[in-house]
Amino acid sequence: MRVRCDALITITRSGAECQRARRDFLVHRPSFGGSGMSSILDNAAHCRLRLAPVLPRPTSTTPSSYFRPFWRPTAGRGPFSRRERPVRRPGCTSGTDVVPFRLHDDGSGGPPARRPAPVGIGALGPGNKRTEHSYRTWCLMSTVFSFFPAISPPVMNTHWLPRALATRWTVVAFACLLGLQLGAGSVRAQSDNSLSNAQKKKLKKELQQTYKEGAKAGNAENYEVAATRFEESIQLAQKLGLDDLIGKIENNLIESLKGAGSAALKQENYTGALSHFKTLQEYTDADPTVQYNQGLALINMEDSTEAGLQSLRQAIEVGNEVGNTRVAGLATERIRDEFLARASKALQGDSPSQAQIDKALSALDQMTEYVEPNADAMFYRGTAFYESGQYQSAIQAARQGLDMHQGSRSDAAKFHFVIAESQMETGNKASACETFANATYGDYEARANHYLENECDDV
């Protein structure tokens, strides 16, 4: 594990010996691995050591510079008024330097151990600077320590971390990686009793290696390889009985499968995308994006449109249940687009046949089985009624669409035009000419003016 040089060792066992070791550390604050650390660790040999990025209380012998904040606020952009950057600390070569430290089975300190870069760190953070990485490291460390029976420090300005899907994956990957480093020295859960110590050690190394490979592949956006490596990591963790890490690795697997499925959708590889999203359902049933993307894949495949619509409807239901209204709204609009496209295609041409009109109305009726109709649905319904000679129904449908409409006058012109044409056919010429005046915008300007110039000149 790598931590900031001004992180502290806090001792969680009572007793004069532990108190003495704690006082010695707070007074002298040697660097991890420095000459003064060995004696302090000897004094605390029977104490359980934990790493926690907290500040000590001032003492008469502690340099006052140690009590400056870890982070100096500066002006920043975005929705938050404060942005953080590291401050150079005494004993560090720079504000972002870290000092390695590792815990062993007995809780004592050990030699430095290199930690692989977690998925997403350095590639997806804002600004992609070392200062951002250092602050993110500090925040994520405190997140990891919250899982352990140690002091959990307050975290500053961590609300910007889940800005995007990939950033959320970064948090989980980093936390899991720190857990792997701790777990490499001590298996917290009961592993298979049939495994020898040598076998356990070998499996731990394999677990760390496969996880590193998955993280590296994720950083390179090679999500399929990342997913495969994380699946292998889960199997190894299960053999070792590391139940506390399995869930965290599964979170990385979920994000890898999402990335692989989304990439396949962009490449129009709908079969591959569907495979990834079906695998995702084995790990999560409360994420509407899974059903939504699966629906997109199905709806673009031959003979799978209905299955895709069902999946989109599930995305709406799950999204509303978990409060993800954004995905629920996207699924709703995609369902509407499907049926509106069918209605529009059926009504193409100057004089659609009755069979075409019935097909358009049938598509609009099917829409109501999944979602509520919108303004465009009422426009196509009004147009279909007008083409079939049902003028009063056309006026009623177009007016309903006009009431739902929230766009510009150019967009509203189509509703006025359908109403005006229907009024003209029913013999209500005066009302029709008045309505045509409201349709002289956008695409309907020329046609509305034609009526006004040729049919309404005597009104």
- What are φ and ψ of residue 137, in 5° steps? -60, -45
User: Are 220 and 138 in the same domain?
Assistant: yes
Among the listed residues 300, 303, 317, 292, the one whose alpha carbon sits nearest the alpha carbon of residue 370: 317
Instruction: Report the pLDDT value the prediction gives residue 54, as an integer from 0 to 100.
Output: 36
User: Are 159 and 22 in the same domain?
Assistant: yes
- Is residue 203 domain-resident? yes
Measured distance CA(296)–CA(307) in Å, rounded: 10
Report the residue count for the chain. Answer: 459
User: Are 366 and 386 in the same domain?
Assistant: no
User: Are 212 and 295 in the same domain?
Assistant: no
- Is residue 154 domain-resident? yes
Measured distance CA(1)–CA(435) in Å, rounded: 74
Instruction: Report the pLDDT value the prediction gives residue 145, as an integer from 0 to 100.
Output: 44
pLDDT, tens digit, for every residue of 208-256? 999 999 999 998 889 999 999 999 999 999 999 888 899 889 999 999 9
CA distances from 145 to 152, 181, 283 (A): 6, 13, 25
Instruction: Report the pLDDT value the prediction gives residue 24, as an integer from 0 to 100.
Output: 52
- Is residue 279 domain-resident? no
Average model confidence (pLDDT) across the chain: 72
Instruction: Report the pLDDT value the prediction gives residue 257, as an integer from 0 to 100.
Output: 93
pTM score: 0.57
Q: Which residues span the domain enclosing 259?
A: 2-267
Give the number of domains in the chain. 3
Flag residues of the chain having pLDDT under 70.
1-193, 459
Measured distance CA(214)–CA(225) in Å, rounded: 7
Per the CB < 8 A criterion, the answer to whether 155 and 139 are in contact is yes
Per the CB < 8 A criterion, the answer to whether 253 and 160 are in contact is no
User: Are 156 and 219 in the same domain?
Assistant: yes
Among the listed residues 246, 12, 308, the one whose alpha carbon sits nearest the alpha carbon of residue 151: 12
User: Are 55 and 135 in the same domain?
Assistant: yes
- What are φ and ψ of residue 123, in 5° steps? -110, -30
Both structure tokens of 403: 């009431």
User: Are 393 and 360 in the same domain?
Assistant: no
Instruction: Report the pLDDT value the prediction gives residue 340, as an integer from 0 to 100.
Output: 97
Instruction: Report the pLDDT value the prediction gives residue 180, as an integer from 0 to 100.
Output: 52
- What are φ and ψ of residue 324, in 5° steps? -90, 80
Instruction: Report the pLDDT value the prediction gives residue 150, as an integer from 0 to 100.
Output: 38
Both structure tokens of 201: 């050690």
- Is residue 274 domain-resident? no
Measured distance CA(202)–CA(225) in Å, rounded: 22
Among the listed residues 134, 130, 114, 168, the one whose alpha carbon sits nearest the alpha carbon of residue 4: 134
- Is residue 348 domain-resident? yes
